[in-house]
Chain A
Amino acid sequence: MGEDEAIAKSSEDQNDDGVSESKAVPVEDKESINDENVEKFLDSMDDYLILVDSLSSILRQGWLELASARHSMGASRISASSYDMKYHSAATTLQLQHETASSDVGQPHFVLRKWESSDSPKKDPSDSPTRDPCEAKLEEDKWVQSVSSGLRIRTKGTSESSESREKKAENTGSPLSVDGHAQKERLKALSMFGALAPPKLRAAQLSFETALETLADIANVRASLLRAYEQVQKEMESPIQ
């Protein structure tokens, strides 16, 4: 009993010392909403800084791999002069969605779409494996495993491998063919620098792909950070009753 009284007294003392407190219920609700927005803002800020830090390390890894590839291939082969300047559209693009939350104006939501070209068959958005970059990565890993087992089978005979690949395609559905397409697009991008790409160049390609995924996340967190900031600012400017 004595402890409860002490706890109640200490919490009262804290209330007196802390930020403006009132006994009226509406102001407390308003305060809790304020706090919620401030928390959202701080969370977004934290996410943003963590993502930027991870982007820095991924990019650093990519640059190192690029430098390593340049060392093996020669500096002149990996430079701006090797860029493909013929007409081509980007294989990796962003899908911009309108996120309608409780507020009237929606927040932009970026989704990375990797390795899609105008030649790829138009699929239903629900089938698109690149809607969620994490899912795409998982499916890619599965595809890589299936391909490696397919390659082993291929040494026995081409007819067997085509059958097994067809069976796998039936079982897994679209991911196999779409990720096969992704591999083709990757090779096309690599071929910009010559027919035989060293492993470091492929590794650099994967690092920069990961960097793109992180950048899509950063863009989303940035949008939520700016939104939370606007809400906090709006509350600060409105008169506190």
Chain B
Amino acid sequence: MAGRAPVRTMNSAFIAMIADEDTITGFLLAGVGNVDLRRKTNYLIVDSKTTVKQIEEAFKDFTTREDVAVVLISQYIANMIRFLVDSYNKPIPAILEIPSKDYPYDPAHDSVLSRVRYLFSAESVASDRR
């Protein structure tokens, strides 16, 4: 389709993470941690001292990297950069919002669900079909 970038094939793409320490510790135990020669990691630990700017920069960095297939981001962190997450519309890397310990998953804030939500409003469905 015109205007849509083709999906590239990647053999071993990383999973980037922007989450709190416990979540990242758990996923590092599962083996997704990557440190390259420049000591750059594929994760960002967000704590009380992390600024919104740092989160934005990490998000932009992970979403522009060629070797990242999925970016996991805790939903409460995604809420801090909601405008960036919602305006992101590339198929790869996929942005997955995950719950965190202190903030359970809220479908109202999920970027994917909010994108498709308007299909459920009575107004849009009924008016086209009558």
Residues of A whose CB lies within 8 Å of any CB of B are 19-20, 41, 45, 48-49, 52-53, 55-56, 59, 62-63, 66-67, 78-80, 83-98, 103-108, 110, 113-116, 185-186, 189-190, 192, 201, 204-205, 207-209, 211-212, 215, 218-219, 222-223, 225-226, 229, 232-233, 236, 240
The contact of A97 among B9, B15, B42, B105, by CB within 8 Å, is B9
| Majority DSSP secondary structure for residues of B touching A | mixed
Interface residues of B in 25-43 (CB under 8 A from A): 25-37, 39, 41-42
Name the A residues within 8 Å of B23 (CB-CB).
59, 63
Enumerate B71-113 residues with CB–CB distance to A below 8 Å.
72, 91-92, 94, 96, 98-99, 101, 104-105, 107, 110, 112-113
Contacts of B33 in A (CB 8 A): 83-84, 88, 90
Task: Indicate if the CB atoms of B105 and A229 lie closer than 8 Å.
Answer: no
Tell me the minimal C-beta distance from A164 to chain B in angstroms: 29
CB-defined contacts of B1 to chain A, threshold 8 Å: 103-105
Give 11 pairs: A residue, B residue, CB < 8 Å, sorted on A.
A45-B116, A49-B107, A83-B25, A91-B32, A96-B9, A104-B1, A105-B4, A186-B31, A189-B30, A209-B30, A215-B72
Question: Hey, which chain B residues are within 8 Å of A88, CB to CB?
Answer: 33-35
In-complex Cβ contact of B21 among A20, A80, A110, A116 (8 A): A80
Contacts of A90 in B (CB 8 A): 12, 14-15, 31-34, 42
Whether a CB of chain A sits under 8 angstroms from the CB of B8 is: yes
Q: What count of chain B residues pass the 8 Å CB interface test?
A: 56
A94 CB to nearest chain B CB (Å): 4
- B49 on interface, CB distance cutoff 8 Å: no
Task: List the 6 closest pairs (A to B, CB-CB), nearest first.
Answer: A91-B31, A92-B31, A90-B34, A93-B12, A96-B10, A208-B26
Partner-A contacts on B (CB < 8 A): 1, 4, 6-15, 21-37, 39, 41-42, 45, 69-70, 72, 91-92, 94, 96, 98-99, 101, 104-105, 107, 110, 112-113, 115-116, 119, 124, 128-130
A94 and B26 form a contact (CB under 8 A): no
Please tell me if the beta carbons of A59 and B99 are within 8 angstroms of each other in the complex.
Answer: yes
Q: A87 near B35 (CB under 8 angstroms)?
A: yes
Given contacts A20-B129, A201-B29, A223-B91, 15 further A-B pairs with CB under 8 A are A19-B129, A80-B21, A85-B41, A90-B14, A108-B91, A108-B94, A190-B29, A204-B26, A207-B26, A211-B26, A212-B32, A215-B72, A219-B96, A229-B119, A232-B119
